[in-house]
Structure 1
Amino acid sequence: MPMFERLVACCKYASFVESVTFADCSLPGISTSLSHFNLTTLNVLDLGGNSINSTLPPWLRNLTSITYLDLSSNEFHGVISDEFLRLSTLNNLFLGYNGFKGMNPKALRYLCNLRSLDLSSFNIGGEIMEWVEMLPRCVRNNLQTLYLNDNNLGGNLSGWLEQMNSLTDINLGSNLLSGSIPAGVWKLPNLIYLYLYNNSLEGVVSDVELSYLRKIQYLDLSLNALTVRVHDDWVPPFQLKEIFLASCQLGPNFPAWLKSQSQLEGLDLSKSKIADTLPSWF
């Protein structure tokens, strides 16, 4: 009996199994049938970072108490249809970095408790607004983490992103997004992580917009056609851990506001048209 099935077989003797974690265990596969096991008490299932080559197993529909489901970084494939329709308790869903070929537009319609959604490298394509509209309004209002990076999503950020007021973590990097960054995005009150790298975004980002980001810690605007324009005496209201502005226009002066960033762990200002000597404090 494969390792995953052996664990579940042991679990059948417990009345209330709540968590099963097999992350990064090199699992090559899982059974498509676990009908003889009771999975209705399971809250956490983490199978991320394995080598599972399969379509989504039918028994996922029986995880009616699940709150955390991580299937990311495997080799799951096929089209997602109704596997998640009954999982109304789900808070965190991680499906990124698999081989899925699409998703039924109604696949997430009942997940009103969803707080984190990872569809990174999901082979989505199309207009980003079409995919956002697949999310029920209750999800759009309450979602805190949204990862749609490394897809081929086109369109712009207007008319939807600024309305998702609960977001703390956004990664829309490596898509085909264009246009400017809407003013409302900078005003999202809880943003900690904003990654918009490697798109075709354009326009000016000034200290006015950046001053709204009071909680921001991770900011990546690199590989866009953006101009970052701030006053020499501007003091940011935040402390960044990472900031990546490669290929943004910052120069010609070295950004003096970086002097206030005492917690920086990652910085990329390459190809930003800075023509200045490094300051003594750097």
Structure 2
Amino acid sequence: MVMNVSRSLKHLDLSSNLLSGDISQILGSLGPWSYLALDSNELNGHIPEMVKNFPSSLQYLSLTFNYIVGEIPQTMGNLTNLKYLGLSDNNIIGGIPTTFGDLINLESLLLQGNNFSRQIPEIIGNLTNLKYLDLSNNNIIGGIPTALVISSTWKSLWLSENNISGQIPETIGNLTNLEYLDFSNNNIIGGIPMAFGDLINLESLGLQGNKISRQIPETIGNLTNLKYLDFSYNNITGAIPISIGDLINLEILGLQGNKISGQIPETIGNLQNIPSLSLSDNFISGKIPDTFSRLYNLEILDVSYNHFTKLVFGTQLCNLNSIDLSHNHIDGELTDLIDALLDCKQGASLDISIGANNLSGIVPSSMGQLSMLRGLDLSSNLLEGNITEAHFSKLTNLTYLDISYNSLNVILPNDWLPPFNA
């Protein structure tokens, strides 16, 4: 498709249509434009070398969500007035051209969702006006270049879903205006730099799915603007820092799948905006702090696969609609837990999983008064005694029950049993 349009046209946006054809033909007929957007079409082919003849007035070029292939030509570096370049979600290969170091006016560079496979070049440090860089979901290798983490102009830096290795440089602390940082799902090693504490404007920090080790530094508590923090599925050790309670704006906290030990700090009760908390797959011990009763928005708690030894009970349960304590070392009896739940205001449905622990004694018949109970897993414990119809008298919302691998004598209500043919 060749475009013949007015030579006086400055701004052209043809995004989200059904345009097809070779991108080189379209780009070869450019006018003296400052803005060109061809996102979400069906354009294919290579970006042509003739890009050197693009109008010097071009400030905005976006070709995202097309079928463009091949490498970015070095001549793209001639577009020195570009402020925005979007080539994401295509099939572009190779790497970032070294001539990109000449794009000194560039503020946004979006290259995510391609097949870039080389290292991030040091020339990225030349782009002193760059605020938004997205290289996520590629095959980029090598370490995080020092030149990438020296400028205070950054607002957003996304490098997730690549093959980036090495450690996070301490110079990350220079990015004092950074609001969004995502290094997740790479091969990053080492510890979380103490310098993260200097990123006081950070609202979102994603490091999940790496090979990060060592303890979370106390300086993390400086990031009081954080709403999203995910360190899950790494090799982080040590205890949860007390300063975690300073992150009062936090809405999402991911710490599961690590080697975190010690007890949950009482300060976690300050995180009153969190609706869901997962600490599963760690080595955490002790009990659930009483301060959990202050987590008024917490609905889902998953502390499974840890080393908890004490059964949680009390008002800290009353706001939850799902609690998973399975695969711990909890002993004792169920009576205190059942009584605590009976003291809660009957409201939303509740799922409880305490399977694969060391609970002993009987299952109290007062369980049958928990009308909000929707799911119950008591499997693989040391429970004994009788389970009668009284245990199910008001469980009208119960849809899931697992009491297998105990020593219980179970008498189910007649209307629960399926008909059997003689």
TM-score strictly above 0.5 = yes
- The whole-number CA distance in structure 2 between the counterparts of 1:258 and 1:53 is 56
Listed one character per residue, the Cα deviations across residues 201-257 of structure 1 (whole Å, up to 9, x for unaligned) are: 112115x33222233466443322235512389531x7x6x7654425597467957
Question: Partner of 1:185 in structure 2?
Answer: 268
- Structure 1 residue runs of 5 or longer lacking an equivalent are none
CA contact (8 A) 1:218 1:243 kept: yes
Counterpart of 2:313 (choices 201, 215, 230) is: 230
Counterpart of 1:260 (choices 347, 355, 362) is: 347
Find the residue that maps to 2:296 and give its secondary structure. Answer: coil
Query: Judging changes above 3 Å, is the alpha-carbon distance between structure 1 residues 232 and 189 closer, same or farther for their aligned structure 2 residues?
Result: closer
- The whole-number CA distance in structure 1 between the counterparts of 2:157 and 2:196 is 13
- The whole-number CA distance in structure 2 between the counterparts of 1:182 and 1:11 is 59
Query: Judging changes above 3 Å, is the alpha-carbon distance between structure 1 residues 233 and 97 closer, same or farther for their aligned structure 2 residues?
Result: closer
1:143 CA displacement: 3.3
CA contact (8 A) 2:102 2:126 kept: no
Q: What is the one-letter code of the residue matched to 2:196?
A: L
Query: Judging changes above 3 Å, is the alpha-carbon distance between structure 1 residues 219 and 72 closer, same or farther for their aligned structure 2 residues?
Result: farther
1:111 CA displacement: 1.3
Query: Judging changes above 3 Å, is the alpha-carbon distance between structure 1 residues 37 and 124 closer, same or farther for their aligned structure 2 residues?
Result: closer
Equivalences for 1:1-282 in 2 at 5 Å?
Answer: 13-16=57-60, 17-18=83-84, 20=86, 22-23=88-89, 25-35=90-100, 38=103, 40-43=105-108, 45=110, 47=112, 49-125=113-189, 130-139=191-200, 140-141=222-223, 142-206=225-289, 208-216=290-298, 219-226=301-308, 227=310, 229-231=312-314, 235-236=318-319, 245-248=325-328, 249=330, 252=334, 256=341, 260-261=347-348, 269=353, 271=355, 273=357, 274-275=377-378, 279-282=395-398
Identity rate, percent: 23
- The whole-number CA distance in structure 2 between the counterparts of 1:4 and 1:37 is 22
- The whole-number CA distance in structure 2 between the counterparts of 1:233 and 1:167 is 19
Find the residue that maps to 1:80 and give its secondary structure. Answer: coil
Comparing both structures, which one devotes a greater share of its residues to helix?
2
Q: How many residues align?
A: 269
Find the residue that maps to 2:229 and give its secondary structure. Answer: strand
Query: Judging changes above 3 Å, is the alpha-carbon distance between structure 1 residues 109 and 36 closer, same or farther for their aligned structure 2 residues?
Result: closer
Listed one character per residue, the Cα deviations across residues 72-126 of structure 1 (whole Å, up to 9, x for unaligned) are: 3432222223132344233333333432222353231211223333333444455
- The whole-number CA distance in structure 2 between the counterparts of 1:59 and 1:4 is 24
Q: Which deviates the most, 56-65 or 268-277?
A: 268-277
Q: What is the one-letter code of the residue matched to 2:97?
A: T
Find the residue that maps to 1:271 and give its secondary structure. Answer: coil
CA contact (8 A) 2:238 2:260 kept: yes
Query: Judging changes above 3 Å, is the alpha-carbon distance between structure 1 residues 33 and 181 closer, same or farther for their aligned structure 2 residues?
Result: same
- Structure 2 residue runs of 5 or longer lacking an equivalent are 1-23, 25-43, 61-82, 201-221, 358-376, 379-386, 399-422
**Structure with the greater relative contact order (CA < 8 A, sep ≥ 6): 1 or 2?**
1
- The whole-number CA distance in structure 2 between the counterparts of 1:214 and 1:4 is 54
Q: Which has the larger radius of gyration?
A: 2
CA contact (8 A) 2:166 2:189 kept: no
Find the residue that maps to 2:297 and give its secondary structure. Answer: coil
Listed one character per residue, the Cα deviations across residues 156-194 of structure 1 (whole Å, up to 9, x for unaligned) are: 212443344443322222121111111112313443453
Find the residue that maps to 1:202 and give its secondary structure. Answer: strand
Find the residue that maps to 2:143 and give its secondary structure. Answer: strand
CA contact (8 A) 1:165 1:188 kept: yes
